[in-house]
Amino acid sequence: MRDLRSELLRSDPVAREVGPSPADFDLMRRRILSSRPVVTPRRVGPRLVLALVLSVVAVNGALVTRSRLSLGRSDPPRDALVGDTGGEVALRQVQYRTPGGTRVFWTLNPNLEVR
Amino acid sequence: MYKKVGASADMRLADLFDAHSGRLYRLARRLAATPEEARDLVQETFLRVVRAPNSVPSGPVAEEAWLVRILVNLSRDQWRRRTSRRRLEALHQAHSWTLASADPESAVIAQTTVWRALQMLAPRRRAAIVLHELEGVGVAQIARLLGVSLVTVRWHLSRGRRELARAIANYEEDHS
């Protein structure tokens, strides 16, 4: 039996075939180079603005909701509001504390207008 | 700045292709069944570079090893997908060859037998045999190229030679 290397060399397709021409390689090269994704700078401006707007809206919404809840909690019973005041205008006071600890007092007339 | 980065990446890719495509094609052709399959393997290897340009190490030796490993892995993926179909075809063809008498085409058939037997080897084993026997690459360099240990390369070479020798001996027995 002939040795393995000579058998393999005898049947080596690289030795028997012509192989791709320089033009074939060039075509493959161009195909590969053109498949490279184009790197473009990422546009962060509009995204940043949108994120800022959304966060401002969210913070505002949260603050308004919180204020309303606080207002509702500090409402005294209705009877107390419209009690006999001897002809004087019945006032009511709303007190609440902000998350930072500041105490806020609102004095309201019967039409719920701040005085 | 982006243009500069893109241009340098293009240049690197072009340099890699120019430096290694010929050698990779030869290896791919010896691993693949057809020239078309070999071209696909080379192209897909470079497309991997396109997808992950930063993973290619710098320096010609390290680049080559990286590209060869990718090519062998791609060949292994292909082989796994087609393994059952190919084995059936090869069995069928081996049977036909044993029935063929010694005619003027027997030399061509013998060549095909060797090559078919090589195609039957698992891709890493085939790569080790091709690199060592056809390209004359040393065991240590094959280990580096394939990313395996010296012992593994020696084992693949030993098993591969035995399997090929068996296939060739079978053919010669049938045609003596």
Chain B, nearest residue to A16 by Cα: B111
- Exposure on the CB side of residue B77, measured as CA atoms within 13 A: 11
Instruction: Assign B125 a pLDDT band (cuts: 50, 70, 90).
Output: very high
Chain A, nearest residue to B167 by Cα: A4
State how many domains chain B has. 1
* Domain membership of residue B29 as a residue range: 2-174
Q: Distance, in angstroms, between A52 CA and closest chain B CA?
A: 27
pLDDT of A39 reads 60
Q: The complex's ipTM?
A: 0.70
pLDDT of B96 reads 45
Let me know if residue A73 belongs to a domain: yes
State how many domains chain A has. 1
Burial pattern A45-71, b for ≥16 Cβ within 10 A else e, equals eeeeeeeeeeeeeeeeeeeeeeeeeee
**Inter-chain residue contact B111 with A10, CB threshold 8 Å:** yes
Residue with tokens 């969210």: A58
Q: Report the C-alpha gap between A113 and A111 in whole angstroms.
A: 5
The pTM (predicted TM-score) of the whole model is 0.62
Chain B, nearest residue to A4 by Cα: B165
Mean pLDDT value of segment A74-81: 52
Mean pLDDT value of segment B86-105: 49
Report the CATH number that the domain containing residue B150 is assigned in CATH.
1.20.140.160
The predicted-structure confidence for B40-82, as pLDDT tens digits, reads as follows 999 999 999 898 888 888 888 899 999 999 999 999 888 777 7
Q: Distance, in angstroms, between B122 CA and closest chain A CA?
A: 16
* B112 at interface of A, judged by CB pairs closer than 8 A: yes
Q: Report the C-alpha gap between B78 and B91 in whole angstroms.
A: 19
Q: Distance, in angstroms, between B88 CA and closest chain A CA?
A: 22
Is pLDDT of B2 > 80?
no
**Inter-chain residue contact B112 with A13, CB threshold 8 Å:** no
Percent of chain A at pLDDT > 70 equals: 73
Let me know if residue A91 belongs to a domain: yes
**Inter-chain residue contact A19 with B17, CB threshold 8 Å:** no
The predicted-structure confidence for A10-64, as pLDDT tens digits, reads as follows 888 888 888 889 999 999 999 998 887 766 656 667 788 889 999 999 998 888 8
Residue with tokens 């320096």: B59
- Exposure on the CB side of residue B66, measured as CA atoms within 13 A: 16
* Domain membership of residue A109 as a residue range: 50-115
Mean pLDDT value of segment B1-6: 52
Please report residues of A whose CB lies closer than 8 A to that of B161.
Answer: 4
